[in-house]
Each structure stands twice: as structure tokens, then as C-alpha cells.
């Protein structure tokens, strides 16, 4: 790759001199002059006394003159006179101006301290009541015509102006259209602009860059003027320094090159006041008229003991595009800066997707207002159907009895039970009574989830395990295996259930029976459950919307007497509960008691103990809530897509601008078999946007909702029915993903349409600390020998940066004045004329 560098543009002035190549020193020239004078005197003396021939006074004078002229001409030739051109070349020096256009420069500062506000007013004039944009301050400082910083600097040196964030771009120099991008920045060719024009043209700053990398900007600027003198570097920034080299490293690099950097700080140096919506949590699904809660978590900086106004906005299908405010709350920031979570209770009477937006009202002097609202994604799916659950148990354990009764009473559940130990004529429990265990695809497809409680594998059909595994992974069903002290050992060893063990979120322990014998089958002491911090907010374990209260409830519930040991959770599984007994620890950590996992289009879970019924003595609601939330987790894959012909899967629901979004689509045909086609097409449309960077690559979603992006999805090798692709969002907002599958016999349009929403958030790095980093800017400038200046001192740069242009004088190759035909002709003419005259005077 060819790297373009600046072309040195000199100005030239030529001086011409006549010089003597030989005998040009003072002594030699004096001796030569004296000898010439003696020769002239001798010629005149001799011709005055010449008595031969026919000479008169005039003839004597002419002959003497010719001889003297010949002598002078020979002396001229002996000195070898030459014509020399001296070229004076002036090489222009460059002042490099670097302007920050990262996202933090899009903030509006109202300047809380009067002294800081006065500085900006001195430079900008009267400030607007709501403050002034940082990028606008930089723009106006630089481009106010002759009085602007660019005009003042251009009076002494040529300029190169760069705008930068995570990369640098030429903002005011002319850019070669064939310039290549190298190492994250573009290197333009430097073409100096006249000092009297161009400096009042707007720079077109676009403050949306995800990070601030001063190092890459400095190196791009230095490379652009390679070979030219550098008068200095001027940096206008708020001093983010959140990517790339540190200020110390940049300063040392500039110091080694002998380049001085001056910094102008832009932004409010006060600690930022900010309130933001950190998270909006709610269930992924709920049934019609079934109450559920939306929990909003807030963050507040420098707002201790102040009140905040929080609104909950509900957006439903067929409603207003902007949604409607359904509830308002007032919360108070504690003295330590903490804010209690805000819980909104909701109940929806119509099936469909319902999205919620939490919005907190801006406060005075708040610079960042883009984080004052956040939408919960994915939306809550309000379900019209009941959850259809098949409950299979090996024996009537306490957990089975209480769970069967609870599911049978729940209006959102349609449960069928199969107790293996029951007599063939026994009355079965459940809302839908079955007389045999479902063993065909048609029978299993009626259910959304299967719960196995310590089943006896010997009572199962040899193909039943494979059928259930396909039901989960291929058709979005849910599977829970709850261990018990009767048949669990057989379950993990039996070839009939090996396919079920493979889709569970744990790796079995081959020596589990030995461990149980060593520890004792029956424990006399209950060990507390350990819930990892990351799992405390999991919907399955949500006993309260307050995290502290939720942890207190789980700490108070009865612990574990018996459990079935497993080796570890699988790499893609999520462990929710672990054992606290120090003896129940393997090389992979404490024993897993509860874990979940996505399996293809479905989900699986493992419960390693059999005493959840004990929680009922504290309050029946803890047992009921745990089990209903666990069942809802299992059936979500089926209710939210398993009944259609596929699913759109992404590793997470929220991404940042510029982050790659891997997309996997699970596609089935009308017979619910893997769909085999050469390619699928995914449509990505931005449904709500904020300004962002545009990119013309085919996999980059542009910052507009007018033209959806169409992304080809290629089949995955070795996985029939799976297709993959990717996109890179370039703007913040909600992105709607959809795939329309080929039509099949008897298919409804809704079955062929796969949909999913993801949220794209602005880069958070730039907003973590938005105060002007004056200390870093001062360190960078002082280490290089430069100065840090406030905005009202920026004009001093015109005197701080001298004219560093250089003048180089070169001597061209001398052109001889004596060594040519004219001199030879003159010499021949003189000799010939003298010979003729002497001949006529009869001196020969």
C-alpha cells in the first residue's frame, strides 16, 4: 500500500553572479594584475621606440592597443570567469491543528462555576441560557475569519487541520481522493491555503466518535507533513484520553522529535451532574390480565438528597408511535448518592408485544441528556395461550405433590402429569388428564415444556429420550430435570436417557455415587444456598424487585440437606445456585444446584436438590413464585417462537454503535424439519434513531430508517437449518430484525415471519467522565515545552508559535564565460588584424 505524504511546497528566488574559477584569491589576483600592468607598460614602451617599417603615431597606437587587448583577453581566459546562479528556496513550516470530534464534544456545557463561564463568555460572547456545545466552541474559536485562531496562525505558517476521535481526518487541507487509510487514520496531502482566505469556512465537525485517541491524531498529523518543518501542534479537546497512548507517551514522542504542543481546553472542568436510566427490567412474557412489574434502576451523580421525576411510557402494537405515559413516580437520591429501584406494576389486557420506556426528567446543569431514557428490550410478549406443561415423576415426592397441585390451580397453566409409580388404574392429576406417557412427535408437540422429577429411566421407551431432545433443540421446547435420591444415578448412566443428559446444562460426575456414600445420603444439617451476584437479578430467582430484599429472602429460605453432585456447569450454561458446604467443592468450584442453558431453539435446566417444598413453611408464595418463574423460562422458547418456523438469535439484546452483531437464524420448513435453501435474507430496519456515523459498507446499518439494510444469511456448515450473518449498527436506536421464510403448504404468514428487536446504544466510554481533563492537557503541553491555555487565551498562540519556515540556498553548476566560440573568434580576430597591420607597416 502506497502511503501519501505531504509535498514540500517551496518559494524560490534566483540570484546570478559572475565568478572567477582560477586565481581568484586576493594574492593571486594582485600578482596577475601587476604582471598585466607591467606587460601593458612594456608593450607601450616598445611601440613608442619602434623604428622599423612605415609607422606613424596612429599606427603605433592601433598596434599597441591590439597587443594590449590580446594580453587582457589572455588574462581573462586564464582567470576562467564563470556565470553562477544561486537559488534561494524558502520551505514553509506547518502548524498542525487537531480538533476533537469525539462524542463528548457533543455535550452542552452551562458552566456551573462563574469563573469558567466568564472565560467562555470572553471568547464567545454572551452564552445561551441552556449552555453551549463544546464542538461549537471549538468551531467558533478556529474559524472566525482573520480574527479566528486559524487566520492568526496562518499569518506565520502554513496549516494542516485535523478532526479526530478514534481516527483522524483532514478537516481543512485538500485531501487527495486516492488517499489510503493506514493504521486507522487517513493521511492527506498538505496543500497550504493562503493566509487571507478559507479560514472562515466551517470545519464540519461531527462529534459522534466513540473514543478519543490523541496519539493516532498526532501521528497522522506528523506523517502528513513529513519532510517539512513543524512550527508546533495545537490541540483543542476536552482531554478524554480514553483510547490509545497515554499523555506521557505522546509527550515523550513529540519531545524526541523536537515538536512543541500547545493545548486549549474545551468544556466544563466541574464534576458532571448527571442522572441516567441504567436499566429497565421486566419479564420477557406475561399472560393477559396477569400482573407483572417493570423495575427501573437509576444512577445519579452530584445530586445527593435531590428528588427525581420518573415516567414509564408504554408502547403497544396499534398504539401511538411515541407511546403513552402510564405512570409517574418521584424518587429521592440518598445522601450517599444511591437511588432505590423504581418498581412499576402493570397489567395488560390485550395480547401482543408491549415495550416500556423509562424516562427521568433532566436536572439543572445536566450536560448528558441522551441517557435520560432507556427502552426495555426485548419487549414483553403478552400471551393469549396457556402454558402447556407435561410433568413426569418417578415417585410421589413432596416436590412433585406440591408442584402438581400448584400448576393445576394456576390459571395460566394447563398441566398433564404422569406418575411412573402410580397404578395403571390410578386417577391422574392435572388439568388435561392423560392415560399414557406421550411417545410420538404429535403428542409431545402439544406441550411447551417437560418437567422430569427423578424419573425412572427403565420405565421409558428407548427412543423417548431422543424424541424429547429433538423437541427441545429443534422445536423450541423446554426441559427441566430435577434430581432425586431414587433414580438420578440410573438416569445419568442409562443409554435410554443419554440424549437427554447431553442437552442438560451440567456435566455429570462419574463418581457421584461414591461422593454421596462418602458424604452420607442423609444430611442432618441444612447448608445455605449460594447465589452468585450475577444470578441474583435472573428472572427465575426474582422473589422481590429490590435486589437487597431479594438476597435477604434467599438467605432466609431453608438450605440444602441432600443434593446430587455434578462435575461442573457447561461452558454456555448459567449457574444460578451453588452449594455452600466447603466439602462440596470440585476443581471447577462449588457444586452446581441450579443451572440453565439455551439448547438450539429451546432451553434446558437442571435442579440438583429435592427440597424446594421446605420453602413453603416461610411463605407459600416463595415456592409458587420460584416454580412458576422457572416454568415460564422453559416455555418462553416455545411461546415466543418455537411454534413458528424458526427463531432469530443474537448473543445479547443490547449493543453499542460500531459493535459487530452476530446473527443466527434457525429455520424450519412446513413439516418442522430443518429448512435447506442456498441462502436466506435478513432485513434490518432502524425504527428509532439518533445521529451517528454513516458507513457505506454492505454490512453496516446506516443512520437512517428510510432504507432498511438487507443482509444475506449463509448456511452454517454441519448444522442443517441454521443460517448466519452479521451487521454493524452505525446509529443508536432500536433495530428491528426480520426474516421471511419460503412459503409451505398450509403455512400461515405469521408462521413464516421471524422477528426480533435489538437495542443499539451510544458508546459509553466517552460519557463515563465528561469533565474537562485539565491536568492531562497541562501535562501533555508542559512536557513538550508548550503551554496549556483556556479558551479566552487561545489568541496568544499566534505569538507562541513563531515563523519556523527555513530558507535553503543552493549553487547551481557554473556556466563558463571563457570557454566558448565567441572568445575564440575574438582572439583569432585580434591576432589576424594585428598580423595584417604589421604586414602593411612592413614590420614582418
Q: What are the tens digits of pLDDT across the range 398-415?
A: 999 999 999 999 888 999
Which pLDDT score, from 0 to 100, does residue 66 have?
83
Digit-coded pLDDT (tens) for 322-334: 889 999 999 998 8
188-189-191 Cα angle (round to 5): 125
Any idea which of 112-116, 360-364, 764-768 has the lowest mean pLDDT?
764-768
Q: State the DSSP code for 505.
A: S
Q: List the one residue out of 591, 584, 543, 549 whose CA is nearest residue 567.
A: 591
d(CA 310, CA 294): 13
Which pLDDT score, from 0 to 100, does residue 175 have?
32
Digit-coded pLDDT (tens) for 434-464: 988 998 888 888 899 999 999 999 999 999 9
Please name the residue ranges forming H helices in 125-238: 134-142, 149-154, 214-224
Q: What is the Cβ-side half-sphere exposure of residue 682, based on CA atoms within 13 angstroms? A: 32
What band does 706 get if pLDDT is binned at 50, 70 and 90? low
Q: Give the helix/strand (H/E) hosting 816.
A: strand 815-816
Phi-psi region for residue 53, left (φ > 0), alpha (ψ -120 to 50) or beta?
left
Average pLDDT estimate for 66-94: 81
Average pLDDT estimate for 597-611: 88
- Three-state DSSP state, 695: coil
Phi, psi dihedral angles at 446 (to 5 degrees):
-75, -20
Other CB atoms within 10 Å distance of the CB of residue 747: 15
Average pLDDT estimate for 821-842: 83
Which pLDDT score, from 0 to 100, does residue 744 have?
66
Digit-coded pLDDT (tens) for 124-173: 888 888 889 999 999 989 887 667 888 888 888 888 899 998 888 888 54
Q: State the DSSP code for 500.
A: H
Three cell numbers at 378?
Answer: 426485548
Average pLDDT estimate for 616-622: 91
Torsion of CA 721, 756, 284, 675, to 10 degrees: -10
Among 2-6, 58-62, 594-598, 603-607, the range of highest mean pLDDT: 603-607
> Is the preceding peptide bond at 378 cis, omega within 30 degrees of 0?
yes
Contact present, 446 and 628 (Cβ < 8 Å): no
Which pLDDT score, from 0 to 100, does residue 705 have?
46
- 691 pLDDT above the threshold of 60: no
Q: State the DSSP code for 474.
A: T
What band does 25 get if pLDDT is binned at 50, 70 and 90? low
Q: List the one residue out of 771, 777, 766, 768 whose CA is nearest residue 268.
A: 771
Three cell numbers at 318?
Answer: 396499534
- 799 pLDDT above the threshold of 70: yes
The fraction of the chain above a pLDDT of 70, given in percent, is: 89
Among 55-59, 380-384, 586-590, 800-804, the range of highest mean pLDDT: 800-804
Average pLDDT estimate for 296-314: 88
d(CA 56, CA 2): 83
Digit-coded pLDDT (tens) for 202-248: 788 888 888 899 999 999 999 888 778 899 999 999 998 988 899 99
d(CA 753, CA 171): 46
- 747 pLDDT above the threshold of 70: no
- 68 pLDDT above the threshold of 80: yes
Query: Euclidean distance between the first and final Cα of the chain, in Å?
Result: 82
d(CA 493, CA 482): 16
Q: What is the Cβ-side half-sphere exposure of residue 209, based on CA atoms within 13 angstroms? A: 27
Tell me what the pLDDT averaged over the chain comes to.
82
Residue with cell 423446554: 478
Position with higher pLDDT, 644 vs 617: 617
Other CB atoms within 10 Å distance of the CB of residue 192: 17
Instruction: Give Rg (Cα) of the chain.
Output: 44
pTM for the model stands at 0.57
d(CA 776, CA 235): 12
Digit-coded pLDDT (tens) for 536-567: 878 889 888 777 888 999 999 988 888 899 98
Amino acid at each position: 500500500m502506497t502511503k501519501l505524504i505531504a509535498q514540500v511546497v517551496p518559494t524560490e528566488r534566483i540570484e546570478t553572479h559572475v565568478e572567477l574559477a582560477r586565481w581568484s584569491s586576493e594574492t593571486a589576483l594582485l600578482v596577475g594584475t601587476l604582471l598585466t600592468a607591467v606587460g601593458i607598460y612594456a608593450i607601450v614602451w616598445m611601440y613608442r621606440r619602434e623604428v622599423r617599417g612605415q609607422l606613424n603615431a596612429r599606427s603605433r597606437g592601433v598596434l599597441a592597443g591590439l597587443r594590449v587587448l590580446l594580453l587582457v583577453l589572455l588574462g581573462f581566459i586564464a582567470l576562467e570567469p564563470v556565470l553562477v546562479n544561486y537559488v534561494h528556496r524558502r520551505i514553509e513550516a506547518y502548524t498542525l491543528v487537531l480538533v476533537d470530534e469525539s462524542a463528548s464534544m457533543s455535550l452542552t456545557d452551562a458552566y456551573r462555576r462563574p469563573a469558567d463561564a466568564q472565560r467562555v463568555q470572553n471568547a464567545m460572547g454572551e452564552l445561551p441560557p441552556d449552555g453551549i456545545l463544546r464542538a461549537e466552541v471549538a468551531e467558533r474559536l478556529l474559524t472566525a475569519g482573520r480574527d479566528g485562531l486559524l487566520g492568526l496562525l496562518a499569518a506565520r505558517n502554513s496549516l494542516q487541520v485535523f478532526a479526530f476521535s478514534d481516527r483522524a481526518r483532514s478537516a481543512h487541507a485538500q485531501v487527495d481522493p486516492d488517499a489510503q487509510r493506514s493504521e486507522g487514520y487517513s493521511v492527506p496531502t498538505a496543500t497550504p491555503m493562503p493566509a487571507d482566505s478559507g479560514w472562515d469556512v466551517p470545519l464540519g465537525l461531527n462529534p459522534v466518535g466513540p473514543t478519543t485517541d490523541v496519539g493516532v491524531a498526532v501521528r497522522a498529523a506528523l506523517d502528513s507533513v513529513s519532510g517539512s518543518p513543524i512550527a508546533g501542534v495545537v490541540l483543542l479537546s476536552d482531554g478524554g484520553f480514553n483510547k490509545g497512548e497515554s499523555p506521557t507517551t505522546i509527550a515523550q514522542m513529540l519531545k524526541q522529535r523536537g515538536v512543541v504542543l500547545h493545548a486549549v481546553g474545551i468544556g466544563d472542568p466541574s464534576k458532571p451532574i448527571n442522572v441516567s436510566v441504567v436499566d429497565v427490567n421486566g419479564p420477557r412474557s406475561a399472560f393477559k390480565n396477569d400482573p407483572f412489574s417493570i423495575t427501573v434502576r437509576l444512577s445519579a451523580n452530584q445530586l445527593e438528597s435531590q428528588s427525581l421525576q420518573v415516567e414509564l411510557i408504554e408502547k403497544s402494537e396499534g398504539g401511538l408511535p411515541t407511546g403513552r405515559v402510564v405512570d409517574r413516580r418521584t424518587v429521592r437520591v440518598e445522601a450517599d448518592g444511591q437511588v432505590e429501584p423504581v418498581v412499576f406494576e402493570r397489567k395488560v389486557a390485550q395480547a401482543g408485544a408491549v415495550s416500556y420506556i423509562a424516562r427521568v426528567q433532566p436536572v439543572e446543569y445536566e450536560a448528558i441528556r441522551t441517557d435520560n431514557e432507556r427502552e426495555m428490550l426485548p419487549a414483553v410478549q403478552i400471551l393469549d395461550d396457556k402454558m402447556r406443561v407435561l410433568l413426569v415423576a418417578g415417585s410421589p415426592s413432596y416436590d412433585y405433590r406440591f408442584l402438581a397441585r400448584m400448576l393445576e390451580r394456576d390459571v395460566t397453566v394447563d398441566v398433564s402429569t404422569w406418575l411412573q409409580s402410580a397404578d395403571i388404574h390410578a386417577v391422574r392429576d392435572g388439568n388435561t388428564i392423560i392415560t399414557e406417557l406421550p411417545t410420538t412427535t404429535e403428542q409431545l408437540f402439544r406441550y411447551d415444556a417437560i418437567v422430569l422429577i427423578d424419573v425412572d429411566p427403565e420405565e421409558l421407551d428407548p427412543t423417548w429420550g431422543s424424541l424429547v431432545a429433538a423437541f427441545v433443540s429443534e422445536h423450541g421446547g423446554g426441559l427441566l430435570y430435577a434430581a432425586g435420591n431414587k433414580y438420578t444415578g440410573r438416569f445419568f448412566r442409562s443409554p435410554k436417557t443419554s440424549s437427554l443428559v447431553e442437552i442438560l446444562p451440567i456435566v455429570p460426575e462419574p463418581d457421584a455415587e461414591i461422593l454421596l456414600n462418602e458424604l452420607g445420603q442423609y444430611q442432618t444439617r441444612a447448608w445455605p444456598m449460594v447465589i452468585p451476584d450475577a444470578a441474583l437479578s435472573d428472572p427465575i430467582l426474582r422473589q422481590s424487585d429490590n435486589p437487597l430484599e431479594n438476597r435477604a429472602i434467599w438467605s432466609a429460605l431453608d438450605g440444602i440437606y441432600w443434593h446430587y453432585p455434578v462435575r461442573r456447569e457447561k461452558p454456555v450454561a448459567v449457574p444460578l445456585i451453588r452449594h455452600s458446604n466447603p466439602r462440596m467443592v470440585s476443581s471447577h468450584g462449588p457444586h452446581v444446584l441450579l443451572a440453565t442453558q439455551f439448547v438450539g431453539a429451546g432451553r434446558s435446566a437442571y435442579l440438583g436438590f429435592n427440597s424446594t417444598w421446605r420453602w413453603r413453611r416461610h411463605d407459600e408464595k416463595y415456592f409458587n413464585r420460584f416454580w412458576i418463574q422457572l416454568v415460564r423460562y422453559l416455555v418462553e422458547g416455545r411461546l415466543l417462537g418455537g411454534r413458528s418456523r424458526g427463531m432469530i438469535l443474537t448473543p445479547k439484546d443490547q449493543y453499542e454503535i460500531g459493535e459487530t452483531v452476530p446473527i443466527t437464524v434457525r429455520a424450519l420448513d412446513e413439516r418442522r424439519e430443518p429448512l435447506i435453501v442456498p441462502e436466506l435474507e435478513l432485513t434490518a430496519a432502524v425504527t428509532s434513531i439518533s445521529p451517528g456515523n454513516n458507513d457505506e459498507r454492505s454490512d453496516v446499518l446506516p443512520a437512517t430508517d428510510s432504507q432498511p439494510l438487507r443482509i444475506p444469511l449463509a448456511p452454517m456448515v454441519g448444522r442443517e437449518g441454521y443460517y448466519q450473518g452479521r451487521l454493524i449498527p452505525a446509529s443508536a436506536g432500536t433495530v428491528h430484525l426480520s426474516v421471511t421464510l419460503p412459503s409451505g403448504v398450509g403455512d400461515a404468514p405469521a408462521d413464516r415471519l421471524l422477528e426480533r428487536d435489538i437495542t443499539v446504544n451510544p458508546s459509553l466510554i466517552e460519557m463515563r467522565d465528561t469533565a474537562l481533563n485539565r491536568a492531562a492537557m497541562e501535562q501533555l503541553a508542559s512536557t513538550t515545552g508548550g503551554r496549556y491555555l483556556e479558551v479566552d487565551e487561545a489568541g496568544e498562540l499566534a505569538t507562541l508559535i513563531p515563523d519556523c519556515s527555513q530558507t535553503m540556498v543552493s549553487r547551481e553548476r557554473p556556466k563558463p564565460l571563457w570557454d566558448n566560440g565567441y572568445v575564440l573568434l575574438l582572439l583569432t580576430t585580434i591576432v589576424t588584424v594585428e598580423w595584417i597591420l604589421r604586414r602593411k607597416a612592413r614590420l614582418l
